[in-house]
Structure 1
């Protein structure tokens, strides 16, 4: 079993030639989600890497909301060329002269002032080449492996907790079955005793006895939850089977089976609103709710 939450990071240096290196740091964070959703934040120098990264993430992580952040830590030192915009500088200077004359101002623009003006220089930034992108995709893959290790560790803890709760449910349904069987037999005997009493009482007609027996039989039929108990047991067996199999994705299957267990427990509760079973049914629903909460974080 695998959790959907986890965090992993990696860092390395990429040799780009001419004795230059780029320091790369990469973080992957995943949280629970019904489906798969991924986003990649990367510098402009890595434009185009998002699609390949998301394709890899989808293949390896299956479910969850995935956030990937890639930093190129010393990219600013690799600017290849800075080109001044001479024409734009002339426009700025001409505008400054017009302001001086129109507003009777004094002072001169220094080179530092001009260099600070918007868009006065254009930077030709370093771009990662194709072979270097493969290096980074491989780094994403390695970081995914680290993340999966974390998700698997948490998954084992979740599986152990859910398994213990499932064992409790299995015991609870057996307790309920015994309690209801006792209640059913007691009510059934009460009907038999009352029928005999009426049969011996000459003031009551046989028709009234038959009506009473019929009414009580309907009541006993409603009290009978044998089918619900059998289905609950079957769902428990199915749940444990899914929990134990080796498939990577099982969260949705387990969630569906949990819904079926809820349905049967609600039916049992509505048919048998007896004090002798109510506390056990409440405890059963509490365990089911805790299992359902845990399953929201399972792949």
Structure 2
């Protein structure tokens, strides 16, 4: 299925005070290039996000914005380093005794010393948080894909119209090609007879005339090019209906179409065939521009 590389998708999921919002924007790019902006609090989930994107998107520049909100009560624990606290008390008493200082130690004073108190945040269940994120991400990817397929469908219809125009030009050339050799033979014979009349020379050997016509026919023969053109056009149509991404294959086929059209134009000794070949090149250039948008 033809799918555009340009699109936008948004997804949200909330449960138990936790809320994820995911936005994805994609534009044309030759390769898969993700740019993920994710909260530092859940940055460990970035590899999972990247893996999910790879399964849905084969190429394009992908910007992903992930917002995480947790409205639940903040939880954690504060631990007292009792061993260190005892050492602080013992050291202060020893320092004050020789100097006759009063023991005015207070708990609040001692607890302010470095490393006595340590706060520990409760570690959330990462697998659970990831499952919530994946639901928001999946919704965003579904919406993105729907938009890309809709635009891809419009591009596909336009490309099919251009392929129809090319097929018509190929048929015109096929009908015209046999006439080229006949016209050359007639013009050559007429020219030779005219020269013979002017110079009063003996008649030209018909075998030599046919030899010249045969050489001309070999030089301007475009049967192989026309066969390949028809084959490439058929393959192009089939590639547009593939389930997997076909942008790279279409790009290759476009190059081959252009190659055959160029060869026909260079071999042509006929104004109508040249016109048709140039018409094909014009359609091929339009096709080239369009497929840059396809995944």
Partner of 1:25: 21
Partner-residue secondary structure (3-state), 1:48: helix
Aligned mate of 1:256, from 252, 258, 271:
252
Give 2:86's aligned residue: none
Q: In the aligned structure 2, how far is the partner of 1:147 from the partner of 1:278? A: 44
The 2-side partners of 1:135 and 1:186 are apart by 75
Whole-angstrom CA distance in 1 between matches of 2:40 and 2:120: 12
Q: CA 1:33 to 1:273, structure 2 compared with 1: closer, same or farther past 3 Å?
A: farther
Partner SS state of residue 279, structure 1: helix
- CA shift for structure 1 position 205: 7.4
Residue correspondence of structure 1 range 42-191 to structure 2 within 5 A? 42-72=38-68, 129-130=125-126, 131-191=128-188
Q: For 1:68 and 1:178, how far apart are their aligned partners in 2?
A: 54
How many angstroms does 1:279 deviate by?
2.9
**Cα shift at 1:262:** 0.7
Residue 219 of structure 2 is aligned to residue 222 of structure 1: yes
- In 2, Cα distance between equivalents of 1:125 and 1:294: 53
State the Cα distance separating 1:242 from its structure 2 match.
Answer: 2.1
Distance 1:220 1:259 in 2: 27
Which stretches in structure 1 are left out of the alignment for 5+ residues?
Answer: 16-20, 83-122
Q: Is the 8 A contact 1:179 1:277 kept in 2?
A: yes
Q: CA deviation at 1:220?
A: 2.8
CA shift, 1:8, in A, is 0.7
CA distance in 2, matches of 1:165, 1:296: 15
**Candidates 257, 265, 268, aligned match of 1:269:** 265
Corresponding pairs, count: 253
Give the superposition deviation at 1:225.
Answer: 1.2
Q: CA deviation at 1:35?
A: 2.1
Secondary structure in structure 1 of the residue aligned to 2:21? strand
Within the alignment, does 1:8 sit opposite 2:9 as a pair?
A: yes
The 1-side partners of 2:122 and 2:290 are apart by 46
Structure 1 residues 175 and 205 mapped into 2: Cα distance closer, same or farther (>3 Å)?
Answer: closer
Work out the CA distance in 1 between the residues paired with 2:120 and 2:37.
Answer: 21
Aligned to 2:84: none
Q: Which residue is equivalent to 2:281?
A: 285
Unaligned runs of 5+ in 2: 79-118
Question: More displaced, 235-244 or 136-145?
Answer: 235-244
TM-score (norm 2): 0.74
Residues 162 and 52 (structure 1), Cα distance of their counterparts in 2 relative to 1, 3 Å cut: same
CA RMSD between the two structures = 3.1
* Residues in 1 aligned to 2:58 and 2:292: alpha-carbon distance in whole angstroms: 14
